[in-house]
């Protein structure tokens, strides 16, 4: 009886073991077949694609891009060359990493590089149609041409910049100087002051709104309302972004689309309210700000209220983080390089004689201007620019081989790689403004769409290039110069006591910013003998 039971138990175990082994073998066979199919599929599809790292199933190369994608891509360029292929999930992505390649795409075939990639949230947030969003950066087709023309003609016109923008920029610069001076040289985190500076400039230029120091911390203020809108939009827009590239992740988007729609509706309510207030007080003969200008041209241009609202709102979203992050990097670099700081200050003191820096001083302040350029070269705050989408096959030659960028690919321009490539720059990882003053790179300027005309200038693309270059580059150049020169003129930047150098760590986000740090700023009262009077602005 016992022997019979033992035999029966052994037979049952053997049966279960065989069934388990067959199931495991079947599963391994399926996995092997899937892997073989994936490998063969990738190899077959890559016959005419640029080289690059091998992607994993489902996630592609995402696992190799964190935590700093621009630096990971730089390593890929070193390994595979200036034109590479990666997969962001299932999305084929081609990365351009040399001036020669970018010339072929943005100069020789510039009309083919005008379409943008839209995420699911961007479609909701920008009320997109089949052509694109209803702003400038992510618009498409005839609407993009119209929106960009209005933006450039009005906000970027020399008249608007000199009569409207520059006085407000100067006032906000010196209001910030006053705020930092009141700290008495004690250690502080400059992020708050530089962020508020950029916010006040773009809000004044766009909506004639300004936020005082007290209002920023006051509950239920207009500032708190608007910042709440901005922060909520950024937060919900960054939720499960990977699902745009890995569709299976959308099963985790429980109620996400509904929350996105609700968030956009709340934003639109606030912006429409501001739009109606501007309509009530509008004087077409004397526009106060960019929103007034848009309303004045609304009927003639055939713009809806929503389109006016979104074009104006783009000034806020595009013009805040990028400028403040650049100034953040500049203060850090000057703090770590006191000899460069002193040389710029000596130049400013010699040219201004103690009065505030003016935009007209820029041609005479070559070294000071070079400090700002070198900051943007070494630490570009938008290192890969806004992605493009191809709508047809595009052929590009790199290192003697012709490759195909297939239709419906995502294309990235890796400005970070070009601005740190030893083939393009001497000692590319060194902070050396002198390169923009003397030598072969002294003629390089911050350019916009015209940069694509010369490969020599294409190695420096802090504001993009081609037909989709930053539409606001003329205003950005003026703002960056005035902010940077004023901060250099007004303060001696030093590390806190006991710190020799501030670490150069960085955080990847809407803009690549330095990790939070503290610095000491001694007011240069001996050099600033006639500071700009801001009329009590706080």
Task: Compute the distance between CA of residue 138 and CA of residue 130 in angstroms, rounded to an integer.
Answer: 12
Alpha helices (H) along 133-255: 141-150, 158-160, 166-181, 191-207, 213-217, 222-237
In tens, the pLDDT along 129-185 reads 888 888 888 888 899 999 999 988 888 888 889 999 999 999 999 999 999 999 999
Per-residue buried b or exposed e for 54-63, using 16+ beta carbons within 10 Å of the residue's own CB: ebeeebbbbe
pLDDT for 130: 80
In tens, the pLDDT along 178-217 reads 999 999 999 999 998 999 999 999 999 999 999 887 766 6
Per-residue buried b or exposed e for 267-280, using 16+ beta carbons within 10 Å of the residue's own CB: bbebbeebbeebee
Task: Compute the distance between CA of residue 536 and CA of residue 531 in angstroms, rounded to an integer.
Answer: 13
pLDDT for 5: 45
pLDDT for 44: 46
pLDDT for 361: 98
Task: Compute the distance between CA of residue 183 and CA of residue 371 in angstroms, rounded to an integer.
Answer: 25
For 9, 174, 411, 458, 536, the CA distances from 106, given in Å and listed in that order, are 74, 39, 12, 10, 47
Per-residue buried b or exposed e for 128-158, using 16+ beta carbons within 10 Å of the residue's own CB: beeebbbbbbbbbeebbebbbebbbebbbbe
For 16, 155, 271, 295, the CA distances from 148, given in Å and listed in that order, are 70, 10, 21, 16
Half-sphere exposure of residue 21: CA atoms within 13 angstroms, side-chain side: 6
Task: Compute the distance between CA of residue 84 and CA of residue 76 in angstroms, rounded to an integer.
Answer: 8
- Tell the burial category of 395 from Cβ atoms under 10 Å away from its Cβ (0-12, 13-18, 19+): exposed
Residues of the chain below pLDDT 70: 1-46, 215-220, 448-454, 535-538
pLDDT for 12: 58
Half-sphere exposure of residue 251: CA atoms within 13 angstroms, side-chain side: 1
Q: Is 401 annotated as a binding residue?
A: no
CATH 3.40.50.1970 for domain 62-523, yes or no, is no
pLDDT for 254: 80
For 99, 138, 449, 450, 465, the CA distances from 457, given in Å and listed in that order, are 8, 25, 11, 9, 10
- Pairs from 181-189 (Cβ < 8 Å, separation ≥ 24): 181/490, 181/521, 181/523, 183/521, 185/520, 185/521, 185/522, 185/523, 186/520, 187/496, 187/497, 187/518, 187/519, 187/520, 188/518, 188/519, 188/520, 188/521, 189/516, 189/517, 189/518, 189/519
pLDDT for 422: 97
Task: Compute the distance between CA of residue 506 and CA of residue 379 in angstroms, rounded to an integer.
Answer: 9
Rg (alpha carbons) of the chain, rounded to whole number: 27
Question: What is the value of pTM for the model shown?
Answer: 0.89
- Tell the burial category of 391 from Cβ atoms under 10 Å away from its Cβ (0-12, 13-18, 19+): middle
Beta-sheet pairing, 91-96 with 410-413: parallel
Nearest one of 238, 248, 241 to 90, comparing CA atoms:
248
In tens, the pLDDT along 388-433 reads 999 999 999 998 999 999 999 999 999 999 999 999 999 999 999 9
């Amino acid at each position: 009886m016992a022997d019979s039971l033992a035999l029966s138990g052994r037979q049952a175990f053997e049966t279960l073991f065989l069934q388990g082994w067959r199931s495991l073998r079947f599963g391994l066979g399926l996995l092997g077949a899937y892997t073989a199919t994936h490998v063969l599929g990738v190899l077959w599809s890559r016959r005419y694609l640029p080289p690059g790292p091998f992607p994993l199933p489902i996630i592609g190369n995402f696992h190799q891009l964190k935590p700093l994608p621009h630096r990971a891509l730089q390593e890929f360029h070193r390994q595979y060359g200036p034109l590479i292929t990666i997969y962001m999930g299932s999305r084929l992505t081609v990365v351009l990493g040399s001036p020669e390649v970018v010339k072929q795409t943005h100069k020789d075939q510039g009309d083919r590089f005008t379409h943008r990639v839209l995420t699911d949230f961007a479609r909701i947030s920008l009320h997109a149609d089949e052509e694109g969003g209803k702003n400038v950066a992510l618009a498409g087709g005839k609407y993009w041409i119209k929106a960009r023309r209005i933006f450039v003609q009005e906000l970027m016109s020399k008249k608007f910049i000199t009569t409207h923008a520059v006085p407000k920029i100067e006032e906000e610069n010196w209001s910030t100087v006053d705020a930092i001076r009141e700290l008495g040289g004690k250690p502080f985190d400059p992020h708050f002051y530089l962020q508020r500076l950029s916010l006040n400039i773009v809000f004044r230029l766009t909506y004639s709104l300004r936020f005082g120091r007290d209002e920023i911390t006051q509950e239920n203020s207009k500032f708190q309302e608007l910042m709440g809108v901005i922060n909520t939009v950024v937060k919900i827009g960054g939720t499960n972004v990977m699902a745009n590239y890995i569709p299976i992740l959308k099963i985790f988007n429980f109620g996400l689309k509904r929350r996105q729609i609700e968030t956009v509706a709340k934003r639109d309510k606030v912006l429409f309210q501001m739009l109606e207030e501007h309509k009530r007080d509008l004087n077409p003969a004397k526009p106060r700000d960019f929103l007034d200008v848009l309303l004045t041209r609304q009927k003639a241009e055939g713009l809806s209220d929503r389109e006016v609202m979104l074009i104006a709102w783009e000034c806020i979203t595009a013009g805040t983080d990028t400028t403040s992050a650049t100034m953040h990097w500049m203060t850090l670099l000057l703090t770590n390089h006191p000899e460069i700081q002193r040389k710029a200050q000596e130049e400013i003191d010699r040219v201004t004689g103690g009065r505030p820096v003016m935009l007209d001083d820029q041609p005479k302040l070559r070294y000071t201007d070079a400090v700002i350029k070198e900051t943007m070269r070494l630490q570009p705050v938008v290192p890969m620019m806004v992605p493009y989408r191809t709508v047809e096959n595009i052929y590009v030659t790199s290192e003697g081989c012709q490759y195909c960028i297939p239709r419906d690919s995502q294309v990235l321009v890796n400005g970070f790689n070009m601005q740190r490539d030893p083939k393009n720059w001497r000692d590319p990882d060194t902070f050396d403004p002198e390169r923009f003053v003397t030598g072969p790179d002294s003629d390089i300027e911050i350019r916009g769409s015209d940069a694509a005309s010369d490969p020599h200038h294409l190695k420096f693309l802090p504001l993009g290039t081609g037909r989709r270059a930053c539409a606001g580059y003329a205003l950005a150049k003026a703002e960056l110069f005035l902010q940077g020169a004023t901060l250099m003129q007004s303060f001696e930047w030093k590390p806190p006591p006991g710190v020799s150098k501030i670490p150069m760590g960085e955080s990847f986000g809407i803009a690549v910013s330095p990790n939070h740090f503290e610095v000491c700023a001694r007011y240069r009262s001996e050099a600033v003998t006639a500071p700009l009077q801001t009329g009590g602005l706080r």
